[in-house]
Structure 1
């Protein structure tokens, strides 16, 4: 029997959830270890010994080797699965969206959510660029999803996994999805494909 992987993450984090979703969807044996990020769990010596960067998610292999960064982890987990397109150009397009998600989506939508939802900051105290650039990201997704069912064509890929994590939580960051009518049906399609329930 294959030894399980160990996944460290905070269940309130979209970056952590996407790792759990892929492992569960693909039936990869794994053990989940909850890390309380707001409570300082990533700064505890035992965790820093595993990941000196002090970040989750973190994958620990049975031999003790580790892998960090959510999109690197899901790319490793999904190797050889249907979540990664076989065609080179489609695979590159998937990676394009995954890189974009960490550079132009998560830093605005997830960060604004964290400040409003967890830190309870007033909206007028936040950097207005968070709302502006988060809306830019949602508009770009809207334009893509007006033309296809998923971010890379007609089947779900890791690009959808990466992007759905915080898009479905966007309202907690003060983002209204109503102006982007293609997004809610897409969220439902991805949730159904992955076998996860709706975000409540």
Structure 2
């Protein structure tokens, strides 16, 4: 059976679990955390030399790292990855946006509040910078979602799953989602899609 190694409360690790739930596919979850040293153990590093989660282990024993690469692989041939070449490219665009323009600010600011060991890094200057950049990313999403119901097309895709993971909990990081009504409405649409599960869900 497919195995996903990851931290339950990590947005990046939530992504493949949420996708599998929406696809109705069985899998095994193995709790693997950077907080307790599991990701730096010799056994785990033998699976993923980068020492990060999530990590996908396929039925044949092959491994695949990086959350958005995992999404693309698992969604191949499903309703969550468009067949049209241009629409697929739009999915890739939003996946790159998530990793370069969204996650480094929205997710990082959230982490400074969620994980006590990171509290010392939460200087006023850093929090202000992260808030500014995160709001800019949410603003980019707002522009698109005021025009289309989902990010890459009129149908939900892995682009929406990737950006939902940290956006839905952005309030924990001090972001005011009420300032982004199109984003807030989109969050409701993603939640309403069949098979949806919360971040704490495990198989």
Distance 2:138 2:90 in 1: 18
Give the alignment's TM-score, normalised by structure 1: 0.92
Distance 1:33 1:137 in 2: 32
Note the 1:1-200 alignment, pairs <5 A.
4-118=1-115, 119-121=118-120, 122=122, 124=124, 126=126, 128-197=128-197
Return the offset for 1:37. Answer: 2.5
Q: What's the CA shift string for 1:31-76, capped at 9, x where partnerless? A: 1111122222211222112111000000112222110000000100
What RMSD, in angstroms, separates the aligned Cα atoms of the two structures? 1.7
Structure 1: state its 5+ residue gaps.
none
Distance 1:36 1:180 in 2: 32
Distance 1:184 1:67 in 2: 32
Distance 2:134 2:22 in 1: 28
The answer as to whether partners of 2:5 and 2:54 remain within 8 angstroms in 1 is: yes
**Higher helix proportion (structure 1 or 2):** 2
Distance 2:16 2:104 in 1: 18
Question: 76-85 or 20-29: which moved more?
Answer: 20-29
Q: What's the CA shift string for 1:144-187, capped at 9, x where partnerless? A: 11111111222101110010000001111111111111112211
Distance 2:27 2:195 in 1: 17
Residues 115 and 66 from structure 1, CA distance in 2 versus in 1: closer, same or farther, beyond 3 angstroms? same
Distance 1:198 1:7 in 2: 17
The size of the alignment, in residue pairs, is 197
The answer as to whether partners of 1:169 and 1:199 remain within 8 angstroms in 2 is: no
Say which structure, 1 or 2, has more relative contact order (CA 8 Å, 6+ apart): 2
Question: 44-53 or 66-75: which moved more?
Answer: 44-53
Structure 1 residue ranges, 4+ long, deviating more than 3 angstroms after superposition: 120-123, 197-200
Give the alignment's TM-score, normalised by structure 2: 0.90
The answer as to whether partners of 2:21 and 2:197 remain within 8 angstroms in 1 is: no
The answer as to whether partners of 1:188 and 1:198 remain within 8 angstroms in 2 is: no
Residues 44 and 199 from structure 1, CA distance in 2 versus in 1: closer, same or farther, beyond 3 angstroms? closer
Structure 2: state its 5+ residue gaps.
none
Distance 1:135 1:38 in 2: 28
